[in-house]
């Protein structure tokens, strides 16, 4: 079950990143982020009240901190996706976001099988290959995109650990506390920068879709880490860029380099090894 949930997390995160980045091409990143977080908060309310939960103050605090980190990560990621190549920004972010929880899990006594660890390695390497772009030069723009991606990935990885530390009895309330912090922060950023919230129907739909997919991915992530090992779930969630790159290819006609194709194949090999292990 945890393997299936991990793939669902990747699908939701990857698709949400695509819609958020696409919306940021025509609307200010902060505006997209605020609209997405408003939708995410509404979804978190539904998840929290629809399923039983008895959270402690610690659970809510961890969720709130994770929400703040997630907001920073999303802001950097959406900006990077809007101003750079989706095939570079999203995979690098996901690889960094995966390495941190894997390190955390193994340091805290998680001992996946050798076969599963091979799958973890394949998944992380796959993210790096998917990030490869034929014909790119390492200029200031590429370095800037890489820096944004690393910081965003670190935020996501840290939030993953905080969610993993919440208790099973807390239900989806940590998700709600996360969104309860993220939305006000996003609105404050909009006010501080005097960012216009005016948007067309297309941009509004993209932002709302990103928010719904993001909160759904977080809820599924909580279920996944409670069902299995963080060191295995994180690399599966890191396969999200496969969905981002696929959508960028299908919708935006962005070319996929040979190394990216190899990375996509290796990602499925890693998934198979993790499932078998």
Report yes or no: 34 and 190 within 8 Å, Cβ to Cβ.
yes
- The CA–CA distances, whole Å, from 176 to 94, 96, 153, 191, 228 equal 23, 25, 22, 23, 22
Report yes or no: 48 and 148 within 8 Å, Cβ to Cβ.
no
The CA distance from 201 to 199, in Å, is: 7
The helices-and-strands tally (H runs, E runs) of the chain is 11, 0
Task: Provide the pLDDT for residue 88.
Answer: 67
**pLDDT for residue 135 is more than 50:** no
The CA distance from 126 to 73, in Å, is: 21
**pLDDT for residue 82 is more than 50:** yes
The CA distance from 24 to 260, in Å, is: 24
Give the pLDDT band of residue 243 (cuts 50, 70, 90).
Answer: confident
* CA atoms 152, 16, 21, 74: torsion sign: negative
Q: Where in the sequence is the domain holding 268, given as residue range(s)? A: 2-276
The CA distance from 266 to 198, in Å, is: 42
73: left (phi over 0), alpha (psi -120 to 50) or beta: alpha
Most confident of 75-79, 113-117, 122-126, 178-182: 178-182
Average pLDDT over residues 33-43: 90
Task: Provide the pLDDT for residue 84.
Answer: 61
Give pTM, 2 decimals.
0.78
**pLDDT for residue 130 is more than 60:** yes
Q: Which residues contact 117 (CB under 8 A, 6 or more apart)?
A: 277
Number of structural domains found in the chain: 1
Give the pLDDT band of residue 128 (cuts 50, 70, 90).
Answer: low
Q: Which residues contact 111 (CB under 8 A, 6 or more apart)?
A: none
């Amino acid at each position: 079950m945890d393997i299936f949930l991990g793939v669902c997390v990747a699908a939701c995160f990857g698709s949400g990143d695509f819609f958020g980045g696409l919306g940021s091409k025509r609307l200010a990143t902060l505006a997209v982020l605020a609209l997405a977080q408003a939708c995410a908060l509404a979804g978190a309310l539904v998840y929290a009240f629809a399923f039983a939960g008895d959270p402690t103050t610690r659970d809510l605090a961890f969720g709130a901190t994770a929400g703040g980190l997630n907001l920073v990560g999303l802001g950097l990621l959406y900006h990077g996706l809007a101003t750079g190549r989706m095939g570079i920004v999203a995979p690098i972010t996901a690889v960094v976001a995966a390495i941190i929880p894997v390190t955390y899990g193994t340091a805290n006594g998680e001992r996946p099988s050798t076969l599963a660890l091979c799958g973890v390695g394949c998944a992380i390497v796959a993210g790096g290959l998917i990030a490869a772009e034929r014909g790119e030069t390492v200029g200031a723009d590429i370095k800037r995109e890489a820096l944004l991606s690393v910081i965003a990935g670190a935020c996501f990885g840290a939030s993953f650990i905080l969610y993993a530390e919440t208790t099973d009895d807390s239900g989806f309330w940590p998700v709600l506390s996360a969104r309860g912090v993220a939305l006000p922060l996003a609105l404050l950023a909009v006010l501080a920068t005097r960012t216009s919230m005016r948007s067309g129907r297309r941009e509004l739909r993209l932002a709302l879709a990103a928010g719904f997919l993001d909160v759904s991915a977080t809820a599924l992530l909580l279920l996944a880490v409670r069902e299995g090992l963080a060191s295995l779930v994180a690399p599966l969630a890191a396969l999200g860029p496969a969905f981002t790159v696929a959508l960028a290819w299908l919708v935006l006609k962005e070319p996929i380099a040979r190394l990216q194709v190899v990375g996509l194949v290796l990602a499925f090999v890693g998934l198979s090894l993790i499932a078998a292990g």
